[in-house]
Amino acid sequence: MTTENPLLFASTEAFGLPAFGALKAEHYRPAFAAAMAENLAEIACIADDPAPPDFENTIAALERSGRLLARVGGVFWNLAATDTTPELQEIERDISGALARHENEILLNAALFSRVDALHARRDALALTEEQARVLELTHKRFLRAGAELDETAKRRMAEISERLANLTTSFAQNVLADEADYLLLLEESDLDGLSEDFRASAAQVAQERGAPGKYGVTLARSSVEIFLQSSTRRDLRETAFRAWASRGETGGATDNRALIAEILRLREERARLNGFANFAAYKLDDTMAKTPTAVRELLDRVWAPALAAAKAERDDLQALAERDGANVAIGAADWRHYAERVRKERYDLDQAELRPYFQLDQMIAAAFHVAKRLFGLSFVEVEGLDLYHPSVRAFDVRDAKGEHVALFLGDYFARPSKRGGAWMSEFRGQENLDERIRPIIVNVLNFSRAPDGAPTLLSLDDARTLFHEFGHALHGMLSDVTYPLVAGTNVARDFVELPSQLYEHWLLEPEILRGFARHAETGAPMPEELLERIQKSRHFNQGFASVEFCASAYVDLDLHESAIDESFNALRFERESLARISMPEEIIMRHRTPHFTHVFAGDGYSAGYYSYLWAETLDADAYEAFLEAGDPFAPDIAERLRRHIYAAGGTQDPADAYVAFRGRMPNVDALLRQRGFAR
């Protein structure tokens, strides 16, 4: 098996891509076992080195270790999220705990930590470069946060907690995926009132693929269900779809996440207390820009008050429209999107059916590439004939202005039952310059509803914004130019990582970009100037709703991780009580309700950290104003500072220092409030 396992050998494929066509499910377990064994042997060599510790034989050696494991994991975790199978899900459940044990064996290795600790104690005398000093600091902190200074009993408990959490969060994610993949709202021709022709065509294809030819299918992919909720005139069907969407993870049976949430929270709290923190939120935020729960609440409170006032005014507008219609209804959560689209149409003469033909997927991809060329000198050439992991994935060779290879970019744009919901950026290979110049393989994963063969896939404006957002993350990975893997690409503080992505969204609505790329799917005509003006005028429409649904999720996330979780904990009751404290309007629900809040419970990434999008928006609103102040959205000198200090620098600096290096100062919340239409 070992000699036949493609995961255990350096790739000979173009661009160093994994040999996807040769991969089989049975390759993963032996590959992980071999990679972990190799990694532990590397660690033993470092920990037992008789030479006194120095940066090269300890920190740089740690950076060189685990490359095989990173390669195997890079393939497995990407495919488990994008094209999973029952076999991969079983492996995922098994391997998540094994990898947690493996990481603990390294981070709780006393001999290894003593070398790292000794170097950290005399760091000022080591004559390190700025990047090396940063890598040493982050490495030392990583060991401390894992419990390296605890006594042996506490270390064993930390290891047990880490392994159990890995298993629980994997189960949480798989449960949400199962609820999303299993659901299908089948419609007849008579159920389609209000739905556009392109949506009907996509829904017909979904039904065909799911074994119901002649019918129309609505899934729980956001690009499917949200458009249905906006457009359908059938209130009963909207309520059915909304109830399924809002209830993922709490439907009872094998995929119900409520018991998992309670155990995850209790274990996280215990881990924080073992590390000397009052609660998990304090532990998690200690390693971010925000630093404390108090700082997060201050930001949320600044936005919440004007957002709530705006949302109440928006609700009154929706209710007034319903009453003018003669509809004897009180606006509910399942109604909001439908009536909001109608108010948008009435106020700005805009609706999704009119806009979608101008936002073709291929054109929006080209627009995102064009902005990258204008800002950073990048070119994207599609590469045909590569053996990729799914037939719908596209590959692009990315080159700089000198023609040198920068990265391979993969675009995985369409929803399918085997793919996790949402949108994200990941990598099959990260960037580093430690021993050689290694360029990254970056992937954007989205869940757009695919049009029938031969027809262009049309996006909503929100879909197009999501595409730009994820491409901003991709650029953060592709433009990375650092020496050490620990600080490469998106390896930055969680509340800083959203800056490059959210900032990139701004260019979508630049008039120059809309004029050049928003072309009608049938006629090819550019977007009319008066339509472009209506889009610009509507930028702040429904921002009360958007801000309330986001902030509510961030408040609940923070509350969950600041609270003591006892045996009486009930996730849904806690959610209701948390929302009641902030006077959450009944007509709006959290953007991500607790039982399917994958940001927070499908891994540790955004736990106590969902606020990060808002924190980063404070930065991105101010950062974009630098271009506005220059009078040029592509000002070359500002773009160069942006590339050097933000997109290419990874985590080589403290994030606040990186932002100041770009902008000359830290921002305040005023730019964010202006961006959301809450201040003038």
Q: Which residues participate in catalysis according to the annotation?
A: 470
On whether the CB atoms of residues 594 and 634 are closer than 8 A, the answer is no
What is the side-by-side strand order in the sheet with 424-429? 379-382, 394-399, 405-414, 441-448, 424-429
On whether the CB atoms of residues 136 and 59 are closer than 8 A, the answer is yes
On whether the CB atoms of residues 481 and 627 are closer than 8 A, the answer is no
| Distance set, CA 379 to CA 369, 401, 403, 440 (Å) | 7, 8, 8, 15
Tell me the CB-side half-sphere exposure of residue 492, using CA atoms within 13 A. 31
**Tokens at 116, concatenated:** 């790292």
Nearest to 270 by CA among 175, 131, 159, 152: 159
On whether the CB atoms of residues 148 and 501 are closer than 8 A, the answer is no
The dihedral through the CA atoms of 5, 3, 15, 474 has a sign that is positive
Nearest to 180 by CA among 483, 493, 431, 421: 421
On whether the CB atoms of residues 248 and 601 are closer than 8 A, the answer is no
CB atoms under 10 Å from CB of 539, counted, come to 11
How many Å apart are CA 524 and CA 633, to the nearest integer?
A: 26
Tell me the CB-side half-sphere exposure of residue 146, using CA atoms within 13 A. 22
How many Å apart are CA 467 and CA 475, to the nearest integer?
A: 12
| Distance set, CA 329 to CA 18, 319, 346 (Å) | 55, 8, 20
